[in-house]
């Protein structure tokens, strides 16, 4: 089993090369081993391109070795025709006798059928190797398919005394609590998630761009809660090349908006998440403000939360979201410049 773990961790390393490009497909890496030596490896780059298993097979210089080799892959080989042929069929064609898998694919069009196809043709299949790590690598994909909603990542920064903004700002630019290192970290998080959500108060007070300009990575798709559709059109989130979509009460929504029947208790967030699911949004970063974050926290609508804590006080200002329930899910913390980043995860 230790040998399996070593090769599976290599699969994870390869899979992560697709962090920004594979979605909405899962991140997958594959390794082919013959007599204790890696003879081929590959990873899935983007939708429509060959899967990891195909890339690994193509990289093998002597294909005659495949009939005496083991294929390691972090996600169950597919068994259906999509934009590319099924990987299970390729494994059978190349007569690879053994396959080691970390996770089964929760996507209903696969859901164990790849494993069954291989086993029915005499291929030895081992599953569950480093399963928890495999889930972590593709947690957005797994959450999307099992919970029928995006993976929800909460993130905010607050002062030493628990405030997120001063009482009155001197400009419409975002008030910066975090260190430069933490700002860069925030942009890295945005790049790793498919979409980002803010409330109307944050949009008005900060006029943010919600980009990943400090790092190399794609900008997330932007959403803003604008219940009564009062936000001005000249805000930066609306004038960018990829403007934000407004989430509006159905009584005020216009064509192109996301219309939701809103209530005062914010229970409509569940309906919003269902809509985002139909739009194939697999991961969502919620960046505030306090009212929006509290609404997600109160209803338990989150999977991971990052609190960036500055050592500097503000003395007076807007309080951050309630953290009492989050501490039950505290995982770890690390230093980012002068700040401490606390991680909570269900």
Residues involved in catalysis:
53
Q: Which residue has the tokens 């005394």?
A: 161
* 116 has binding-site annotation: no
Please check if 273 is assigned to a binding site: no
Cis peptide before 12 (omega within 30 of 0): no
160 labeled binding residue:
no
Strand partners, 225: 199, 247
Query: CB atoms < 10 A from the CB of 82, how many?
Result: 12
- Enter the tokens of residue 44: 């899935």
The reply, when asked if residue 293 is annotated as ligand binding, is: yes
Contact status, residue 341 vs residue 184, Cβ threshold 8 Å: no
Residue 112, number of CB atoms within 10 A of its CB: 13
Q: Is 187 annotated as a binding residue?
A: no
Q: How far apart are CA 247 and CA 234, in angstroms?
A: 17
Flag whether 291 is marked binding. Answer: yes
The answer on whether 278 is annotated among ligand-binding residues is no
206 is in an annotated binding site: yes
Is 171 annotated in a binding site? The answer is: yes
What sign for the dihedral angle of Cα 66, 72, 73, 77?
positive
Query: 284 a known binding residue?
Result: no
Is 127 known as a binding-site position? no
Alpha carbon of residue 289 to chain centroid = 21
Q: Give the ranges where 65-208 is alpha helix by DSSP (H).
A: 87-93, 113-120, 131-137, 139-147, 180-192, 200-206
Other CB atoms closer than 10 Å to residue 289's CB: what's the count? 22
Q: Which two tokens stand for residue 237?
A: 């989130």
Element (H, E) at 125: strand 124-126
Q: Is 271 part of any known ligand binding site?
A: no
Two tokens, residue 326: 């989050």
Would the annotation count 157 as a binding residue?
A: yes
122 in a known ligand binding site: no
Cite the annotated binding site by residue number: 51, 78, 87, 157, 171, 190, 202, 206, 210, 213, 287, 289-295
Cite the annotated binding site for NADP(+) by residue number: 157, 202, 289-295
Cite the annotated binding site for substrate by residue number: 171, 190, 206, 210, 213, 287
């Amino acid at each position: 089993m230790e040998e399996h773990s070593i090769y599976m961790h290599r699969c994870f390393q390869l899979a992560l090369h697709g962090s920004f490009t594979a979605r909405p497909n899962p991140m997958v890496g594959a390794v082919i081993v013959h007599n204790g030596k890696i003879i081929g490896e590959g990873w899935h780059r983007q939708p429509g391109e060959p899967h990891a298993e195909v890339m690994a097979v193509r990289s093998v210089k002597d294909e005659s070795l495949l009939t005496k080799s083991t294929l390691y892959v972090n996600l169950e080989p597919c068994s259906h025709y999509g934009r590319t042929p099924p990987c299970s069929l390729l494994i059978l064609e190349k007569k690879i006798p053994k396959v080691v898998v970390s996770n089964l694919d929760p996507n209903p069009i696969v859901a164990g059928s790849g494993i069954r196809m291989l086993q029915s043709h005499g291929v030895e299949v081992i599953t569950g190797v480093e399963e928890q790590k495999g889930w972590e690598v593709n947690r957005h994909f797994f959450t999307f398919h099992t919970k029928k909603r995006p993976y929800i990542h909460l993130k905010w920064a607050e002062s030493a005394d628990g405030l997120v903004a001063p009482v009155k700002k001197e400009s419409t630019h975002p008030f910066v609590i975090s260190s430069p290192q933490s700002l860069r970290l925030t942009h890295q998080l945005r790049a790793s998630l498919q979409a980002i959500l803010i409330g109307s108060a944050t949009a008005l007070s900060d006029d943010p761009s919600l980009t990943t300009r400090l790092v190399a990575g794609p900008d997330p798709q932007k959403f803003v809660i604008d219940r009564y559709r009062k936000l001005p059109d000249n805000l930066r989130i609306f004038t960018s090349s990829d403007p934000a979509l407004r989430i509006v009460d159905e009584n005020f929504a216009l064509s192109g908006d996301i219309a939701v029947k809103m209530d005062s208790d914010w229970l409509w967030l569940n309906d919003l998440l269902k809509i985002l699911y139909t739009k194939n949004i697999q991961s969502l970063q919620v960046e505030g403000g306090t009212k929006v974050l509290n609404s997600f926290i109160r209803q338990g609508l989150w999977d991971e939360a990052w609190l960036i804590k500055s050592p500097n006080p503000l003395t007076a200002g807007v309080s951050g979201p309630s953290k009492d329930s989050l501490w039950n899910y505290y995982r770890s913390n690390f230093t980012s410049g002068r700040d401490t980043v606390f991680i909570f995860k269900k």
